[in-house]
Structure 1
């Protein structure tokens, strides 16, 4: 019988002949079925019973069949391999994993059938929709909304067209953004308002149109109450956000003036403004406006300035960066090569870098190392438990 030799970064077991087999672990003896799945003949000692009854059919999780320590080491190895691809080595300090049932943000697919609306996640490599009433990822508050979300799906989807439902838990209740081909009509607004009142949604947005606002869907960022624009980026778990924030704080130390690049709605800027002057830069104007309102509402924070700027096409130059003691950079998956090259040429002595893509992180890290920066210990932050997604944070100091 063939044996699984390694696990890819997509969580696929690889046989000696290159065949990829899902939901297997290194060292396992398997029988590969005609559909590409495997019957486990000799299981790995790291194999565990999946905690979620939906795991076999749902495509939302990839690694529930392995113990937590294995997954943590595997994600750290993904980072190490990405660094090696750029001829870099670094200390992986550890993997910090968010607990089960901690995802405060999830995007469901909605459909309508003869019996009404249904919501769930897609099966792996398929268009089959899997309902997930016992999902082990999402916070209980979102899990309790499944019936109400199905009602919304019944309004938003059709027999031919799916709907997207992005739901985010806030201090005032759930914040729902609906993607639908249907036009928002007064009748539809009335239906949504009744669902929101009954289920306790704070806000429902239809595309970018406001449909229902019962209460501002506030996210607390430090002392600042922030109401993000619909669909705005937010860290997936509160635990993950706090971990990243604490590591960024450690990285910048006692810096008195900090620039926050790709600042979003203020995940780092606003908490740090309790002790540090911050200049926040973000390309999306409504996110900057939300950050500014949160800063004003908090009161008592240090000076915080903002700038709307596309850092891919128009990065801050060394002359723009000369007065900062530290920089924070948290780019999207594409990384921030253009901006990192300017940081490498600038006089900023300390950079706290957060990344959601080890490959682009390694590319950008090499630019800094070649410019004379020293990379500190890397912390892997696993907000997307049981998935293939990897985030990390580290510190670069000019030698």
Structure 2
């Protein structure tokens, strides 16, 4: 490699600096001249480690986390806020453009709040002792950490909790994944990877839950002990999610997404919430309108139902267990509603979007954690006569390439039957 180094032209979709020849350099920024190590190709992408920044960008800032650069959790702590926000909004703009969609994209909204309220810590035995942390980027190597500074303060002790819980389960000899969630009742912890535990190990775990002052402790989704309800408020509703169940990463992110969903459906009186999960949107929507929640996970629906029954003054909340990937709601079923909300996993909702395109629902609000699959699904709705009024990107996963978004679709050219 020449002593003059190479020039970085742009940021890639994963936060790597990209040179003119397509070489990806993690940690490098546009406009910089850098020296790199030998290039390696993996899955069609050539990458090289950053050896030195020879001419830094004026947008370079000092990372705040001591683990940045080794831990694979954050990709881009070294970029100043304004260009960072432009890059992240640009991920959405690019995804829509590649799908041939011309729609207004709002400025990126910061949804980080107090930090991540949930995280999964990996536990492995290293040099004879259990260590907890995150995986290095593109690696199975564990980066042991003391605490993660982008999490809420109650989660700062989570690595210590994970190490302690590993002791009755072999001390990290078998890889464990420990999901910790900060709730109103305290830490809610679900341990996975060990398989069934004998009576002695289970008793030890229950005792540790008391010593560690956990709200709830579960093993592979089975509750071992609940000392306090791990409540996660959803609007006025006291939601207790199923062990290890899905939640939005930050409290502020969930609240901002819900506000956009409620505003998007407008004056609709009957709303279908598809891929509803445990009801983060349904329970808030039900404060002012009737809601039908559809979800494939029975535990999530049970949690939604309990929260709805425990909240006085909500409108009717009905629910249906259904695999929307295999059995999406059909047009006649959809046309019973004044608005539809869908919030699928990262894979998107292609089958359901195709059926929505055949329906006459006046308003559809799409929530997504993947701009590419959202653009694909949006294309189906647009081909069916909808107009994408606006897309709002939210930065819930700060310092990562992940971006949340909400898009509001309005029916054009066809009257409601």
Tell me the TM-score normalised to structure 1 length.
0.96
1:171 aligns with 2:184: yes
- Equivalent in the alignment of 1:24: 28
Q: 2:396 aligns with which of 375, 383, 389?
A: 383
Counterpart mapping for 1:192-231 below 5 A:
192-231=205-244
SS in 1 for 2:71: coil
For structure 1, the residue ranges without an aligned partner over 5 or more in a row are: none
Shift of residue 193, structure 1, vs aligned partner = 2.1
1:246 paired with 2:259, answer: yes
Distance in 1 between residues matched to 2:273 and 2:112, nearest whole Å: 28
How far apart in 2 are the matches of 1:183 and 1:283? Answer: 25
Cα separation, 2, equivalents of 1:159 and 1:169: 23
Contact 2:277 2:301 in 1 (8 A): yes
Aligned to 1:89: 102
Q: Is the 8 A contact 1:260 1:327 kept in 2?
A: yes
Alignment of 1:44-63 (within 5 A): 44-63=57-76
- Contact (CA 8 Å) 1:111, 1:157: kept in 2 or not? no
The answer on whether the counterparts of 1:358 and 1:390 sit within 8 Å (CA) in structure 2 is yes
Secondary structure at the aligned position of 1:369 is classed as helix
Report the Cα offset of residue 157 of structure 1.
Answer: 4.9
Q: Supply the RMSD in Å over aligned alpha carbons.
A: 1.6
CA deviation string 1:183-213 (max 9, x = no partner): 3222212222222112211111111322222
Equivalent residues, number: 399
**Separation (CA, whole Å) in 2 of partners of 1:351 and 1:321:** 11
Q: Which moved more, 1:204-213 or 1:314-323?
A: 204-213
Secondary structure of the 2:381 match is helix
For 1:137 and 1:364, locate their aligned partners in 2 and report how far apart those are by CA, in whole Å. Answer: 32
Contact kept, 8 Å, 2:112 with 2:253, in 1: the verdict is no
Superposed counterparts of 1:319-338, under 5 Å:
319-338=332-351
Out of 299, 306, 316, the residue aligned to residue 329 of structure 2 is: 316
Per-residue Cα deviation, 1:352-383 (whole angstroms, up to 9, x for no partner): 11001111100111111111211122111111
- Give CA-to-partner distance per residue, 1:262-302, whole Å, 9 cap, x none: 01000100011011100110011121111111100112110
1:4 and 2:8 are equivalent in the alignment? yes
Q: Tell me which residue corresponds to 1:357.
A: 370
Matches for 1:126-145 after TM superposition, within 5 Å: 126-145=139-158
TM-score of the aligned structures, taking structure 2 as reference length: 0.92
* Residues 1:191 and 2:204 are matched in the alignment: yes
Shift of 1:232: 1.0
- Give, in angstroms, the shift of residue 101 of structure 1: 4.9
How far apart are the structure 2 equivalents of 1:100 and 1:223? 20
Alignment partner of 1:3: what SS? strand
The answer as to whether partners of 1:340 and 1:367 remain within 8 angstroms in 2 is: yes
Moved more, 343-352 or 10-19: 10-19
Structure 2 portions without partners, runs of 5+: 40-47, 413-417
**How is 1:243-322 mapped onto 2 (pairs within 5 angstroms)?**
243-322=256-335
In 2, distance between residues paired with 1:314 and 1:126?
A: 37
Change (3 A) 1:338 1:259: same
